[in-house]
């Protein structure tokens, strides 16, 4: 299975939390999705039997559609609500500065750790892990599957797959210039040629 985070969005570029909200892909995000699709095509070879599953949120569906076009996979996209991004409740749509102003001291160095420990009304980490575990159980044979998801959800999915501790799951990087291969209980990062020099936002923004 290959796991892809959606391409850069307007919210990513501005450093705003998306959660269940949505924003369109930037031109950089479209370029990322196209390059990822081309690299996946080279890796998977003949596309017979391959499918793409995606979060139903617009940014993921747009990325998945671009990847489908680039790879030549003929199967229709499969939207699965279990792959959607975490809801951060009242934090959705805000920047770190906005959160600091409204809830002084609630954020630590890591937004994701702060969500798991302190978010007042977002989706709980237990609920997210439950729906992702359910998805993994339903896809034990995932050898011909490409999955398009999100920053937090994608890191937790990788962590569950590799049986990592929660703190480690929440610390996994979620770049948009590479993707991951999940096989035999292990996770391998796959760099995409040409994407590292696009001028994407700093890594701390890309983790949102």
Phi, psi of 9, rounded to the nearest 5 degrees: -115, 175
Identify the helix (H) or strand (E) that includes residue 105: none
Paired tokens of 148: 């398009």
Q: For 64-94, how does the pLDDT look when each residue is reduced to its tens digit (9 = 90+)?
A: 999 999 999 999 999 999 999 999 999 999 9
Is-catalytic flag, 6?
A: yes
155-195 confidence digits (pLDDT tens): 999 999 999 999 999 999 999 999 999 999 999 999 999 88
Mean pLDDT value of segment 151-155: 97
Q: Is 8 a catalytic residue?
A: no
- Residue 35: pLDDT over 60: yes
Average pLDDT over residues 98-126: 94
Question: Looking at the domain that runs over 2-206, which CATH code has it been given?
Answer: 3.40.50.1240
Residues contacting 61, CB < 8 A, separation 6+: 54, 55, 77, 79, 148
For the chain, domain boundaries: 2-206
Q: In whole angstroms, how far apart are CA 86 and each of 17, 44, 68, 83, 156? A: 11, 29, 24, 9, 10
Catalytic residue among 8, 39, 85, 123: 85
């Amino acid at each position: 299975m290959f796991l892809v985070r959606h391409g850069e969005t307007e919210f990513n570029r501005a450093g705003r939390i998306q959660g269940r909200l949505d924003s369109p892909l930037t031109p950089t995000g479209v370029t990322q999705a196209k390059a990822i699709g081309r690299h996946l095509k080279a890796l998977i070879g003949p596309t017979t039997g391959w499918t793409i599953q995606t979060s139903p949120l617009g940014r993921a569906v747009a990325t998945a559609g671009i990847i489908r076009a680039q790879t030549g996979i003929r199967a229709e996209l499969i939207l699965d609500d279990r792959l959607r991004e975490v809801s951060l409740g009242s934090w959705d749509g805000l920047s770190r500065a906005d959160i600091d102003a409204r809830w002084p001291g609630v954020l630590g160095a890591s937004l994701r750790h702060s969500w798991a420990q302190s978010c007042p009304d977002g989706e709980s980490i237990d609920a997210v892990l439950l729906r992702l575990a359910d998805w993994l159980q339903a896809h034990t044979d995932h050898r011909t599957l490409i999955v398009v998801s999100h920053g937090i959800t994608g890191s937790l999915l990788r962590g569950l797959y590799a049986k990592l501790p929660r703190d480690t799951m929440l610390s996994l990087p979620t770049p948009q210039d590479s993707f991951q291969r999940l096989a035999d209980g292990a996770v391998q990062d796959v760099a995409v040629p040409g994407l590292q020099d696009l001028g994407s936002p700093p890594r701390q923004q890309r983790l949102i």
